[in-house]
């Protein structure tokens, strides 16, 4: 294999890991964010819907961060050095969330509310931290007031996107009763998510003359036009399906979840196109940040063993536990 292809392969693997993480852990973080909005009788059903999946979903975050560390050490130092505070908040939140998930089941009735709140807080702060990291990354880690406000907007937007994934997941997994309530949550989250996608789409090209030219130079503009057009169409389709579920005869439906996932995929494609070939906007290219070819060849062997195992386990777990959720139980 040509050594020049190795860094590109690892960029693709890292992008895949992060995309899968955002979608899979996004919906279970979203369920946690929505937890306080549900009645006590519904909280266990919501948690049960993510019970078999939530911890395995986080494997993709470890994989993506691990690939950044070992394959692109120069970029890893810059990115994590600039984001050490939100990364710390995210890790603490994920730990709190994991502890709360197990303790809430074993706690006495009078203490269960504490662990429900802890699960909500862990989910919310993990989502906000990830959104802030994304916003800061898009602005090139600038620390001026405008950049900080933009990062905060994206933090709220990503948390709303996770709430959208979580609500549409509940529509997919649960029976009548909570389905229409989840559809109301999803409808509100969809509009906030759309605002965040629009904000990223508008701001990102103006972060760099290079990105602006990539999107708006002719004739490239016309080849890229289907991306925002398709995003708008998927948004409209998701909104229409949610309004249909909100009717008195509304039933569980998989299509809003599929549309929400597609929204994330389209946003990811647009952002990846804008950033490539840089890992840090206009500062560090992926090939400049890559480890030595001998190291990448060795790491590729491990990745080719690890990645199929993770994919296989993920597919198997979703296949085994597919179906409507019920009451949470460890019996």
Mean pLDDT of 95-124: 86
Number of domains making up the chain: 1
Residue 326 binned pLDDT confidence (cut-offs 50, 70, 90): low
Looking at per-residue confidence, does 226 or 321 come out higher? 226
Residues 327 and 45 sit within 8 Å (Cβ to Cβ) = yes
Q: Determine, yes or no, domain membership for 188.
A: yes
- 161: which 2 tokens? 């996107």
Mean of pLDDT over the chain: 87
- At 236-281, the pLDDT tens digits run 999 999 988 887 666 777 899 999 999 999 999 998 998 889 999 8
pLDDT at 329 over 60: no
Residue 113 binned pLDDT confidence (cut-offs 50, 70, 90): confident
Residues 71 and 290 sit within 8 Å (Cβ to Cβ) = yes
pTM here is 0.92
Q: Determine, yes or no, domain membership for 31.
A: yes
Mean pLDDT of 123-133: 95
Q: Determine, yes or no, domain membership for 329.
A: no
Q: Which residue has the tokens 């708008």?
A: 232
- In sequence order, the β-bridge partners of residue 285 are 278
pLDDT at 107 over 80: no
pLDDT at 325: 58
- In sequence order, the β-bridge partners of residue 278 are 285
Residue 124: domain span? 7-320
Q: Determine, yes or no, domain membership for 135.
A: yes
Q: Shortest CA distance to 159 belongs to which of 268, 287, 49, 30?
A: 30
pLDDT at 201 over 90: no
């Amino acid at each position: 294999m040509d050594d020049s292809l190795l860094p590109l392969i690892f960029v693709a693997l890292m992008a895949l890991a992060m995309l899968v993480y955002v979608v899979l852990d996004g919906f279970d973080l979203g369920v946690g964010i929505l937890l306080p909005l549900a009645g006590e009788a519904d909280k266990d059903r919501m948690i049960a819907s993510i019970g078999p999946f939530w911890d395995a979903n986080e494997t993709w975050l470890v994989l993506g961060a691990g690939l950044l560390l070992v394959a692109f050490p120069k970029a890893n130092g810059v990115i994590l050095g600039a984001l050490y505070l939100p990364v710390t908040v995210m890790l603490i939140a994920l730990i709190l969330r994991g502890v709360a998930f197990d303790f809430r089941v074993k706690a006495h009735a009078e203490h269960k509310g504490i662990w429900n709140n802890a699960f909500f807080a862990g989910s919310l702060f993990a989502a906000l931290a990830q959104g802030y990291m994304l916003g800061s990354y898009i602005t090139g880690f600038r620390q001026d007031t405008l950049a900080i406000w933009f990062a905060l907007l994206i933090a709220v937007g990503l948390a709303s996107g996770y709430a959208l994934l979580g609500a549409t997941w509940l529509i997919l997994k649960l029976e009548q009763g909570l389905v229409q309530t989840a559809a109301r949550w999803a409808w509100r989250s969809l509009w906030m998510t759309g605002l965040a996608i629009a904000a990223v789409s508008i701001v990102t090209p103006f972060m760099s003359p290079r990105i602006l030219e990539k999107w708006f130079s002719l004739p490239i503009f016309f080849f890229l036009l289907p991306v925002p057009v398709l995003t708008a169409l998927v948004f409209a389709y998701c909104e229409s399906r949610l309004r249909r579920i909100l009717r008195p005869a509304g039933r569980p439906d998989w299509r809003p979840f599929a549309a929400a996932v597609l929204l994330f995929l389209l946003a990811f494609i647009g952002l990846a196109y804008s950033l490539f070939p840089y890992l840090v906007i206009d500062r560090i290219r992926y090939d400049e940040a890559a480890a030595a070819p001998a190291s990448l060849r060795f790491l590729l062997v491990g990745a080719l063993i690890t990645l199929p195992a993770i994919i296989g386990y993920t597919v198997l777990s979703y296949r085994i536990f597919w179906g409507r959720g019920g009451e949470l139980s460890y019996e």
